[in-house]
Structures are given as structure tokens and as C-alpha cells.
Structure 1
Amino acid sequence: MTGIDTHSTHSKHDTDGAQVSTGGAGEATEAIPELVIISGMSGAGRSTAAKCLEDLGWFVVDNLPPALIPTMVDLGARSQGNVARIAVVVDVRGRRFFDNLRESLAALDTKNVKRRVLFLEASDNALVRRFESVRRPHPLQGDGRIVDGIAAERDLLRELRGDADLVIDTSSLNVHELRAKMDAQFAGEEEPELRATVMSFGFKYGLPVDADLVVDCRFLPNPHWVPELRPYTGLNDEVATYVFNQPGAKEFLDGYAELLRIVASGYRREGKRYVTIAVGCTGGKHRSVAMSERLAGRLSSDGVETVVVHRDMGRE
């Protein structure tokens, strides 16, 4: 369950793509609304993400046929600022129109509309549990099983997921945690150039499916085998000191931080505004936590708005 936002421009655009003059002297300019397209797997939290944006003051349209998205942007631009932010939910319920989505996005691009796509992801197991808990069929399962519908939907959405600006995996998120993620991304009045989520995790619990970059800290000695450090986490000063006193730890932090500066510059040039960096160790409790905290500090000092998430720190 996640989200993304987009700045869009109207069909009659100026060179800045910020405001559009609709006539001669004395006529009002059209303020271009921000646009977010919410899509993703059924059961992954699209409705919750849309409700979060609605609570933050966005104008939300659910299950809008993709062919009508440019029209919605035009109407928002003519609202004299009353519709400054638009979020559109597009999913397989409108699959007859789904093929039109790419064409509509291309039409927005020709008008210099800055738009972004939010894709909500979840594991097959999590989706099956959610559908079974509400005793509803998957919209694509037909006469088959829920897993058949999930597989068909993944195939249908594969290209859209690859093109998404922001992918959020909701497999282990509850509603409150999803809302917190949405608030962190959309509550601010000004969008930063780049937002990063640095996530520590344990390899024994599986890779985060929404990670853009994954790094492995298992080359460092594990504090788990130091009896006096075992009960603590990487947030503890003694554990962090132990980790960064190991050969290669500081060099790795310096080198990877420098690499991320290069990557961040490229993301900005390509218009990517969200990145998830996963930092792993065996259990996600000591090394990855300490490294994630230091790495997030380096990113923040480089002007990247950063959120730290410790996915597996509380597990036994």
C-alpha cells in the first residue's frame, strides 16, 4: 500500500510547465494541478493509499478510465486553484480501458505534464490472506483460484510496475504503517528533489521486494556472537561502535555513500524522486541497523530527504 505524487501541466503550456495563460491581458492563468496515478495489485492497499491522499486534501478519483486522465487534468487546471492536487486510481477493474493508460500518459507527456505513478505491491501469500479474510474473489480469477487471479494480474501490470516512480511493498504493513508512509511522502507542502527510504532487513526473512538497491553487511563480524551485545540492536551505541571498529566498516560506509551520490545525481536527471535502499545482515538486528542509520545520515547531509525503516529489528 503506497503512493506517489506528480506535477502536471495543462494542454496549453508555457515553457516552464507551471502555469498556463488562457487568453489575452486581464485573463486568469490556469494553475496546473499535481497528478498522482495510483495502481498496483488488488488487495495491496490502493484504497487505503487513496484515502490517505484524500485526507491530505487531494482530489481523488477511483477507477477512472485511463483515457479520461488528460481531461481530468484539464478540468483541474480550469478550477481556479480549487483542484490543486489530483490522484487517480487505475486498476484491473477497468481492464477494458487499461490498454489506454500508456496512450494517456504519452498524451500528458506531449503537453509537458509532469506526472508520477505509485505502484502498490504485496507478496502472493499476503494477497491470498487478505482476499480470504474478506471472503471475496480476486477480480481476475474467474472460475480459477485466487492465486490464478493474482498471477494474471501480475502479468498484466508487469510493465507498469517497471515504469513506476514509487513502488511500496505492503506485505508486512498494517493500515497505520501505510498511512505513516503516505504522510511522510505527501504531507509536506514542497516536494524535495529526491526522497530515500533506507531499510535494514535480515536475509533470513527474505529480500524486500520494493528495494531499488540492496547491500550486504554480512562481511562484518556479527555482534550476535558477543554475549554482552546480543540483547541490544544497532541503535545501541555499544553495538554501533563495535560494528564500525571492524576492518572495512568505515571504508564501506564511505565508499557506498560516495556511490549513492553518483546514483542520486542520475536519479534526479532521470526524474526519479523515490528510492529504497535495503541494507541487510543475517537477522536484521545489529549490523544492518547500525549501517542504515549512518548511511541515512550521509544521505541527509547530501540534501536527500531520508526515512529510516528497520523491518526486522523486533523479530526474535
Structure 2
Amino acid sequence: MSHVTDSASSAALPQRVPPQRVLLVTGLLGAGKTTALRTLEDLGWEAIDNFPLRLLDRLLEPEPGQSEADGDATPLAIGFDTRTRGFDPQAVIAKVKALAARPDLSVTTLFLDCGGAELERRYNETRRRHPMSEDKPAAGGIAAERDLLAPLRRWADVVISTTDFTTNDLQQAIRQQFASISPSRTTLTISSFGFARGTPPLADLVFDMRFLNNPHWDDALRPMTGKDAPVGDYIRRDPAFAEAYERILGLLLLLLPRFETQGKAYVNIAFGCTGGRHRSVFMAEQIGQGLRDAGFSPTLLHRNLSARTASLLEGAQAVQV
């Protein structure tokens, strides 16, 4: 009886709302803050650069009448540096400590560092003047800025040095550090199509299924599609099917995580046969299920499955295959 009572009581409790993730991005000018924020934006974060720090409390306050449960779950990345209005390292630290104490916020600070010689090279290459150097060489402004930012660097949760980084290296580092808490993954689409109507223009990977035995030439199977069990049984009996399926699935399981690590937002995989009704449809369905079993969430599209002329096109062209 007590177990039932406890369950009923716990069911009545409100669901705990995950805290709003906030990432504060700062560091030396020229160390890559803009690149970091753009990469976070590609990962699904809402990014704001050079936001006035005195308004940070107001930005993170819920709107009037809005409960915590109604809050926006999109992670927020806020960039600031020595040029930001009201910049004061000690004041920033005090403000962030106060925000981190709030139960509805999860606050992290990222500091981007870079060696002085490399920063000088970057300023000389772009012909930009360091904001703190005035009429002096860039080295003086960089040294002054480093001294000013020292408390923030010591206090930051994450420090990334970009001295030896290319732009792509920094993008990779940001993805590796923060992709796991981003709201979305690569959007994966698997499609089938008929070569008789052309290759999909946006396909990243195209697999030609015309090496498999063609169900079109079986009178009983011709009206069916690759979604029908008799067609699937027919294709599975092809000696090449099992090995082809395993090799294609293995290749995709190798490539897809790397595409995601590289920040590729969309991956389109297309399977083609002559008319787009039998072999390509069946293989797309099988690979889609294999990827679901591996933890992916593909969307399946069959471009020519409902085309009235697909069967005629297949009959006309399969003679050449």
C-alpha cells in the first residue's frame, strides 16, 4: 500500500526542467572568438557577440508571466572581449558567479588563448591594428591585453589555445568540446530513385543497385514495390545482396560519425535502380533500418515509388542493364 501511495505522490510532483545552458566566450583579440561563435551557431546554439555585460542579468531573466517550464531550452553562447562596453574582469567574474548560483542556469566560461608571436603574425597578415596598441607595434597591445585578461583566463572553465590552430582546427576543437550538449545532430536522409529520371542533385553518396537481379522481369512481382515482402525475398536470394548490404552499412557507420564531427548539417544518401521501384527501394529500407538499429534517425524518401510511368521506364531501359 505504501508503495502505491509513494508512486502517486511522486507522479504529482512537477517535472524538473533542465537548466538553460549558457556559454560565455572570451579571450584575446584575434584568438578566434568569431570562429568559435559561428561554429556553436552551426551546432544549434543561439550566439550573441559583444553583448553589453551590464545587460546580462536582464537577458537571462524569464519573461513576465513565464514559468521555468516554459523557458527556451536552446543553449546560449555569449561572446565578449576587452572592447565590450563595461568590460571589467573582476566584475565579470562576480556577475557570472552570481548567475551560476541560479538553479535554472548552467553557466560555463570558455577562454580562447593564443601565443603573442602568432597573434602578431595574424595582425600583420590582416593589416588590422590592435585596439590597445594605439600607434605602437601590435606586441605592446597584445601584452597589455594579456595582463588585463589574466584573471579571466585563470578562472575560466575551459581554455583553448589556438596558437597552432588553423580555422578548421578551432572548429573541430569547438565541436569536440560542445557538440555533445548541442540540441541537434546531422540530419540524415535516405532516398531511392530511378536512374531513368536522373540522379538526385543533392545526394552526397549514391549507390547503384542495378547489379542486383531485377524483380521487374517477374510478372508476379512487377506490380509490387521494394516495400513488399515477395520483392524483398527475391532480392535477398541474389548471391551479391548480403555482402553488398553489409559493406554499404559498414561504410556508412564509418562515415556518418565523421560527417557529424566535421559539422556537416545534412547528409543525403541515395540508392538508385532503373525505375526506382524495386531494388533501390528495398535497399534504402534495409539500410535505413540498419542505421536505426545503430542509433541514427534517418528520414526515408522514395522519389519514384508512386510515379505512374516508372514501370514503363524500367521496361524500356532494363534491357540495357
> Structure 2 length as normaliser, TM-score?
0.47
Larger Rg: 2
Structure number with the higher helix fraction is 2
> Structure 1 length as normaliser, TM-score?
0.48
